[in-house]
Each structure stands twice: as structure tokens, then as C-alpha cells.
Amino acid sequence: MTTQKAKHGPRPPERLHSSRRRWSFGVKVGVFAAATAIGLVGCSATADRSGADNATTTAPAGAPETTALEVATGFVDAYGAFDVERATTYLADDADIAPLIESIGAAGVQGTVEEFRQLISLLEAQGYQQMLDSCEEEAAAVRCTFDFHLIRSDEVGRGPFSGSYFDLTVRDGQIARASKHWGIEEFSPQMWEPFASWVSTTHPEDAPVMYADGNFSAARLSNESIRLWEQLSREYVAVETAN
């Protein structure tokens, strides 16, 4: 997460049936007439059966297409539940998710699925809680606003913090681009800055692993960083609640 201020804000074929009959010539008229009558009845029954078959095999009306709002809401819900597998089902194969991952301030992001997995793991380790407010279509994107807890702020009696949102571009029922903007006006002085100060003082050797720069303005995206965020955020809560 950077400490820049953000703006407020889920698609049958018809079977054809036909038959051909051969009739013999040279039969008596009476027999021919009777046979003809029987044949007409048989053809009528065949036609009735064919119509019934067609009626039962005709495809029902297609289900309505998933709307952009439903796609956006589904993705954000999965994101907040740390459900990476479900979240990725909403993404197009060439989706640009680098801005979403960069929202934590990570440098050199390529926007890969593996980086996305690490991002979700990092948020879970940081005690992230997401409370979705609403999703609304705005121009070419869907904006979903939410409140959040982070660094276990709920456990120390602070937050939730408002003013954050996702911007999601949906094309052909999939997300083509995703970004996230944090509202940190209240969160930064209440949680981010005090925690960074505590880490740099109490665990100075861990700070460079957890943070991407010496200003402690961005989290580093790595497995070791994730482990330390989990460990030290819990330790921080224990210290804060003991006072």
C-alpha cells in the first residue's frame, strides 16, 4: 500500500425424424383404399410424434448474460474472502491487474497471477477485512466502494476506514483491467505509521524485508515479507492491547 491519498468516492438440437414407405402395385381397389386409410392414419400418428419430439427438444430461452455489475461484485467479494481461485475466474486471460497489485506499493510488478496470489496472501497476513459498500457503473468502468480494516485495526479498536474503491473494466463478461485505491487519510496516522515506527524500532532487521523502501510507505511482496507481516502484526496487537 502506498500512502498517497485516494479519492472518495455469474449458454440442444432439433431431432429430425422421417420415414419412407414403399407400396406394391396391382392390388385390388378395396384393399388399396383400406391400406391407404391405414397409411394416412400412420402418417398422422408419425407427424404427431414428430411434433411432440420437436416440442420437447427445442432449446429453452437462454439465460440472461451476466452484467458488468454482477461480474465486478463477484470479483470484489472473492477478493475480500481471500478466494484466489474464484477471483481469477472473473479475470480475462489478458487482464491488466498490475495496478491492483501495485496498490500496496510493490515495485517491479508484472501483473501475473502468481503476484496476485501473493497479494491476497499478504492482505490475509495483515489482517485485512473488507466491507463492500456498493458497486456502480461509471463511464467505462465499475466502481466498488468499501470500508476496511488492516494491520488488525479491529483488534486494537480502530477503524473501519472509509474512502477506498476498486475500479474494474468489464468486457464480454470478464474483467479486463483492475485497480484499487486506498483511502488512507485516517488509516495512515492511526495504524500504518505507528506500526511502521514500532517495527523499525523493535525489529529493525525485519523492516527492510517487510517494506519496499526506507520510508516505510509501501509493503514488499515476497513470501518472507508475508510471513513477517503475519507474525509482527499479531505481536503489535498484543503490545497495544496490553497497554
Task: Determine contact, residues 167/102, Cβ cutoff 8 Å.
Answer: no
- Say whether pLDDT at 107 is over 90: no
Q: Which of 36-40, 128-132, 207-211 has the lowest mean pLDDT?
A: 36-40
More confident position, 122 or 32: 122
Task: Count CA atoms closer than 13 A to 146's CA, side-chain side.
Answer: 23
pLDDT value of position 99:
96
Number of residues written out for the chain = 243
DSSP annotation string for 23-68: --SS--HHHHHHHHHHHHHHHHHHHHHHHHHHHHHSPPPPPPPPPH
Confidence band for 106, pLDDT divided at 50, 70 and 90: confident
Whether the predicted pLDDT of 89 surpasses 90: yes
